[in-house]
Structure 1
């Protein structure tokens, strides 16, 4: 029997986001507090998580005991809460969307994109962002799907 080395993958932002910081991480790291690099900071607070590039970078490189994330956008907060609480259900919904999308012609892909975007925009007025519920899982899957299939990660909310 042979052994195979498995390289652990680093978590990266799952959303393409306007103002994303992924390409600037090396420049930001030079500005991280010395105390963080020395292991003297144990708590990380991210008030504007967005796509999460800085968050993922910090929590994977430094020995923290806790991290807290927030954002002014309730949609983003909702997605991160779904990932935290029910990642398997979210992945299942994303897999279903991906399989359906990939089986379609280019014209039908555009059609389903616009249908899902319309559904997403209409649902926004009915969603309760204060109380976790099953609607959050579907909505999070649609948000991620729209984000990954639209032009340059900049989809429009009406």
Structure 2
């Protein structure tokens, strides 16, 4: 039996990660009503993957589709899925930062690799050798664990990762047991780098969708283009369409008047985060978030 408390913890930090909410979210999702109450699982904003890993511990979907638009993030998930031991070796080859120059050296090497062509999206990964893929995945984890607050932010002009070193932090890298367990959980998942629109085009009746996009009026610099109001509206329309197909659809977002108005016909639950990071990297204390959902019709009246 897997130890849920140990292995549903993501192997990297992620702003807005759902680690503290996974149990609350799971209680509202179809597995609450018995095994086999949904078919396939879709998560188009994968990030640190807390909800996805928890779902895979609690249930056995027919097929799992995980995606994100950040190529370097998806490359890291692919490396964990394929060969976690090789990834750890690459990570251990990078020395811990003793000074800011050590950190900046790794960050510069990472940016040189990731910024070959700002316009090609995920294609730059396809052009890499296998060794390069594992090296840049190791650098991604290294920068995630040694940078400020686990933030992943890129500059709008150059698309370069620009988070500073957190010299006060003693980095806690994933170990062999943790990465190997995550690798086993996601071994049959289809993990892709693509927009949420493309990622959700295959959703059918009785599938389960969970969307955790960049939040309204908060941090959204995961890519040079951001997300914005246009992204929020487009996502809502896509999720409405998934619900109309008969899917169970769940979405997280900020508890703002705009989000409440946009999702006016959806059920809502307030979740309180114990400390959040604003777009300038400052701690904003406790903040409410919304979990909004529409279950497929056959579950609407189940207690």
TM range (shorter): 0.7 to 0.9
Moved more, 28-37 or 73-82: 28-37
The Cα offsets for residues 69-118 of structure 1, whole Å up to 9 and x where unpaired, read as 11111111111111112222111011222xx21xx6xxx33221111111
Q: How far, CA to CA, are the matches of 2:32 and 2:60 in structure 1?
A: 11
Between Structure 1 and Structure 2, the one with more strand by share is 2
Query: Which runs of structure 1 show a deviation greater than 6 angstroms over 4 or more consecutive aligned residues?
Result: none
Question: What is the match of residue 116 of structure 1?
Answer: 106
Counterpart pick for 1:128 among 100, 107, 124: 124
The unaligned stretches of length 5 or more in structure 2 are: 117-122, 155-159, 161-303
Counterpart pick for 2:82 among 71, 85, 95: 85
The Cα offsets for residues 95-144 of structure 1, whole Å up to 9 and x where unpaired, read as 222xx21xx6xxx3322111111111121123722356321100000000
TM-score in terms of structure 1 length: 0.79
Deviation at 1:66, TM superposition (A): 2.8
Question: What is the match of residue 3 of structure 1?
Answer: none
Question: What is the match of residue 25 of structure 2?
Answer: 28
Instruction: Give the CA RMSD over aligned residues.
Output: 2.4
Moved more, 34-43 or 142-151: 34-43
Q: How far, CA to CA, are the matches of 2:7 and 2:42 in structure 1?
A: 20
Between Structure 1 and Structure 2, the one with more helix by share is 1
The unaligned stretches of length 5 or more in structure 1 are: 1-5
Give the greater-gyration-radius structure (CA): 2
SS in 2 for 1:18: coil
Q: How far, CA to CA, are the matches of 1:49 and 1:36 in structure 2?
A: 25
Deviation at 1:52, TM superposition (A): 0.3
> In the superposition, relative to structure 1, how do residues 141 and 149 fare at CA in structure 2: closer, same or farther (>3 Å)?
same
The number of residue pairs the alignment matches comes to 146
TM-score in terms of structure 2 length: 0.44
Deviation at 1:26, TM superposition (A): 2.2
Does residue 94 (structure 1) correspond to residue 91 (structure 2)? The answer is yes
> In the superposition, relative to structure 1, how do residues 132 and 35 fare at CA in structure 2: closer, same or farther (>3 Å)?
farther
Q: How far, CA to CA, are the matches of 1:37 and 1:109 in structure 2?
A: 52
The 5 A counterparts of 1:1-158 are 8=3, 9-34=6-31, 37-97=34-94, 100-101=95-96, 108-126=98-116, 128-130=124-126, 133-134=129-130, 135-157=132-154, 158=160
